[in-house]
Each structure stands twice: as structure tokens, then as C-alpha cells.
Chains A and B, each alone.
Chain A
Amino acid sequence: MISQNLTHRHRVAILFHGFCFMVSWTGVVILGILLFHVTGEGLHWLDLQFLNDFPSRFPEKAGIKSALFGTVWLISLTALISIPLGVGAAIYLEEYAPKNAFTRFIDLNISNLAGVPSIVYGMLGLVIFVRWFNFDRSVLAGSMTMSLLILPIIIIASRESLRGVPNTIRQAAFALGATRWQTIYSHVLPASLPGILTGFILALSRSIGETAPLIMIGALTYVAFVPEGPMDEFAALPIQIFNWASRPQQEFHELAAAGILVLLIVLLLMNSVAVFIRHRLEKKNQ
């Protein structure tokens, strides 16, 4: 089966290696081009005025303040809602749930939900939060929709993290008479906290860039103010970018690029925070 022609085979092997090597760096090259293009288009619009102004029909006066604040409001509320629910569900599934069909059913649900397109979550949010609960186009409706979207990701990541805690720790606590919850609260959770936090921040980063669900619940309007409460209307970074990118004038396209830069910087900040927290907690655990 393996041919005798060694030189030929070697040549093929080297070519294949080279091919895989070059192709792998395609991804990097594309990322580089994308960042270069966006920065080139948008950097000159990025200044304090841009951050501090509201959207305007004049590109020179337009700014991203309402979108930035709206996004901050959105992720804060989303975090508040989704962390307890997500971590709670993960704890139940890893620590309490018996291994029966019902638990497998919940498992199946979660992995399916992780693959549902975000626009379907948007429809869910539209019907339940905007119509039934009557939250209208508010930050609350937006963040509840987002929470549902990222919940499966948080649950899966938290479960991985909880699974990573060695069973000996649990056993030791039980041996001393601790109840299940006491064990979890005082030992398992702290040990798995770095992983949970990382997973959570990654999920949140995903939610920042999601546009479709927000469009579905009606966030695509001209908004020139900062939300003052959870029931206020809001703008969000991805929506504002979408808005500007849809306009035909070149200046608005450049503004969209500047908005993208702001979005990417926010994402970078969040990921750095995640790495930092994980580092600190890992050190503490040691």
C-alpha cells in the first residue's frame, strides 16, 4: 500500500506541510487586513468629541455617546440577570442533578439552545418581553433577550469549570459534615471561579456584538439621549454601527468604522479584564 518511491513521497510531504502552513496564516492575514481597513477608515474620527456627542445628521457633529452608554447599560443588566441564572443552573446540573433521563433532557436543551440563531432569540424577546410583559423598547427587554441568548454559553462554560474541581475537595468537606450547599459555596465555587468568570466575560463579549436581537425588539431608532432607567429606550453600539453603515455617504461609513473601533476597544478591555481576573484568582487559589 505504501509506495516505494521515497523521494516522491517526501516531496509530497513537504508540499503538504507548506500548503497547510500557508493556509493557516490566511486567517491571520485576513484579520490584519480587516483591522487595517477599519482603522484606516475610522481612526481620524475617533476623538473626545466623537465619544461625547450624540448622533447627528451632520457627520462632523455625530457621536457615539448614546450608543456607548446604552451598551454599557445593556451589558450591566444582562450580567446581573444572566450570572445568577447561568451559574445556578450549572451548579444544579453538576452538583445536584441525578443522572437520569430528565437531566439528559435538560442537557440536550442547553446544547440545542447554544446553536439557535440569534435572530430567533430576537423573536422570542419581541413576543415575550416587548409584547406580553409590556416592556416595550426598553433596556430591560433588550437585556432579558440577551441574557437568554448567552445563558447556554455561560452554563456550558461554568459546568466545564465546576467539573475541573477535583472531587477530593468535595469529599473532604462532606467528611467533615458539611451539607452539599456549604461544600459548593465555600469550596467548589471559589475553586472554579476563574473559569466561570472567564466563560462569563466571553459570553458577555459575544452579546455586545449581537445586533439582530436588538433590531427585532425595535432598538433601531434615532436616540439622542442616555438611558436613565431600565425602562428607557436605548441605542447600542452595534445598532449605531449598522445605522451608519447603511447610509450611502462616505463620511457615515467612516463613522461606522470609528464606531467599530470603539466596539473592538471595549471588547479588548473586557477580555483583558477576564485574563487579569483569572490570573489574580489563580494566584490566590495557589
Chain B
Amino acid sequence: MNSSSKTEIRSRLPLETNVFQNRQAKNWREEVIKTVLLFCALISVLTTFAIVFILAQETGVFFKDVSVLDFLFGTQWTPLLEPRSFGVLPLVCGTVLIVVGAGSLALPIGLATAIYLSEYASTRVRSLLKPILEVLAGIPTIVYGYFALTFITPLLKTFFPKIQTFNAASASLVVGIMILPMVASLCDNAFRAVPDSLRQGAYAVGATQYEVTTGVVIPSALSGVMAAFVLALSRAIGETMAVTLAAGATAKLTMDPFVSIQTMTAYIVQVSLGDTPAGTIAYQTIFAVSALLFIITLCMNIISHRLLHRFREVYE
């Protein structure tokens, strides 16, 4: 280190003459700062506890009146109408329909895009395509909902005239577009982490690029790819605005993508459109549905995390 930077550093540090006294004051200050920062980090723990606590509390009240089996396996969701029925399967079915549709669009295309980005594309193309994908990822979900309602649905109507204004197909297409960049980016990371030596070895025995990609790269990055898929699907499950605007508000058990359905998230929004007051059965249902949503996405995130860790270990 040359002398100028030495003086620079020294002048930034408050070196005092009475070292002992200042050591005590410094220690005390350090401790305070450390505690403050610890508190900041604990906020995340607090948040998790708060979520769990709040959801569990109201769900507990809910399950006093409704049996868990009825809730999880019942096929009629009419919590607000007489006669009341609290089977959540129609909502889950709506969510599944959207996620399956979105996944069938996003997973293959995202994977192919990631393959292209990491195996085929030149640096120049990469520097063009990657930012575009990031822009796609940064577009707010409400814009996608609007797009589904005003562009995709009319477009689908010209091909399938029987389609309803609110339908699952539009919403799932748009959710697919939304999670596409996520799949592409995560899979790309997974592919780039595969050591080049593996590829070179395959080329050395005369494999074509296609064979290297499908025979070496993808299998090596498999857990990363799967983690990406799971994470993207988890995001699709939690998607709210696009489905609220475009998919409808009829909770029904169906696999028909051309009719109006309701997802778990859209139900929560529908009931809360008016800021539901506490203590009503409607209030409790949104907590029960939220709890289910939270548990599902939590499990998926944990699975994806595990997959990623397993994948990281292999190369370290």
C-alpha cells in the first residue's frame, strides 16, 4: 500500500489519543449498532411468524365451524350463499387449471430460450436478448391482466367463438408469458454452472451440439432446471391480478379452459374488494384460503430450494 492511501484510511478513522477510554466507548457503540442491525434481520423472522400467526388464528376459528375434511375435499364452494358449502376444491381446481396452462406454455419455451442463450447465442445476441427478457419480467401483473382481457380474449374468440368473456385460457396464457422470463433466466443460470469440461469431453468424442445439449448439459443441470420449474409454477399459483381481471369469478370444478373459473387468489380479492370486516364468515374464509395458498407455495419453495442445493453440491 502506498503512502497516500495509508493517510486516506487513517484520516477516515477516528484515531484518538486516549485509547483506553475510547475503546470502551467504541465497544459500547459497536454493540448498539450490532443490536440494531440484528433487529433489522429479525424483522424477516417476525414477518414469517406474523403471517403464520395471523393465518393460523383465523383459520382456527374457521375450522371450529367447518370440518377440515369438508374444506379440503368438498366440491362445492358457496361460503356466502345459502345453502353454505365450504369445499375448497373448485378454487384449487381453478388454480391448477391456470397453472397447468401457464406451465405448458412457459416451461418448454423458457427451457428452449435458456438453451439458446447458454449454448448457442453469441455474446452480442445474449446482451440483447437477456435485457429484453428482464423487461418482460419487470412488467407489472396488472398490465398482463389488461392484455389478457383486451387482446387475448378477443383473439381467442375469433378462433373459438364459444369462449366466454371471462375464461381460464386467456388468463393462463398470460400467466405463462409472465413466468417465461423467470424459467429462462433460472435455467440459464443452471446451464452456465455446468463445467465446460463436460461439454468439451462430449465434443471430443464427436457429439453434435444437439447431442451435447440434450445428452450432457441438461441431465447435469437437471436439478437446477427442476428447481426453476417448481419456482416458476409457485409464482403462477400466487398470481392474482391477471386472473382476477380475466379468468372470472365462478368457483366450479371443471377442466374446460373456455369457461369462467375462480382461483384461490381471485376469490380472496373478490371478497376483499370491500375491505371485509372482521368476525364474519367471509373474513374467515379468506384466511382459510390464504393459509392453504401459503402452505402450498411454501412447500413448493422449499422443494425448489432443496433441489438447488443438491445441484450446487455436485460441483463444489
Bound: A109/B77 CA distance, A:
33
CB distance from B125 to the nearest CB of A (A): 9
In-complex Cβ contact of A151 among B47, B208, B287, B302 (8 A) = B47
In the assembled complex, the CB of A275 is this many whole angstroms from the nearest CB of chain B, namely 10
Whether A96 pairs with B37 at a CB distance below 8 angstroms is yes
| Cβ < 8 Å to A, chain B residues 144-187 | 145-147, 149-151, 177, 180-181, 184
Q: Is the CB of B142 within 8 A of A123?
A: no
CB contacts (< 8 Å) of B147 on chain A: these are: 34, 37-38
| B269–A257 CB distance below 8 A | no
Query: Interface stretch among B7-15, B62-70, B83-91, B254-262?
Result: B7-15
Contact A118 B34 (CB under 8 A): no
Interface SS of B by simple majority: helix
Of A34, A202, A212, A264, the residue contacting B265 (CB under 8 A) is A212
- Residue-wise, chain A 114-135 has the 8 Å CB interface mask toward B (1 for contact) of 0111111011101110110000
Main secondary structure of the interface of A (DSSP, over half): helix
Residues A16 and B213 in contact in the complex (CB < 8 Å), given A92-B38, A109-B44, A112-B298 = yes
Contact B9 A23 (CB under 8 A): no
Shortest Cβ distance from B238 into A: residue: A117
In contact, A242 and B241 (Cβ under 8 angstroms): yes
Q: Which of B29, B40, B206 meets A88, CB within 8 Å?
A: B40
B240 within 8 A of A: yes
Q: How far is the CB of A176 from chain B (nearest CB, A)?
A: 6
* B109 A92 Cβ-Cβ under 8 A: no
B residues contacting A by CB (< 8 A) are 1, 9-10, 12-15, 26, 29-30, 33-34, 36-45, 47-48, 50-51, 54-55, 108-109, 112-113, 115-117, 119-121, 129, 132-133, 135-136, 138-143, 145-147, 149-151, 177, 180-181, 184, 205-211, 213, 231, 234-235, 237-241, 245, 265, 268-269, 272-273, 275, 278, 286-287, 290, 293-294, 297-298, 300-302, 305
Sample of 17 further A-B pairs with CB below 8 A, known A19-B112, A186-B12, A264-B139: A20-B113, A20-B115, A23-B116, A24-B116, A27-B113, A96-B37, A110-B44, A116-B294, A120-B51, A130-B275, A176-B13, A211-B240, A212-B241, A215-B273, A238-B142, A245-B145, A256-B146
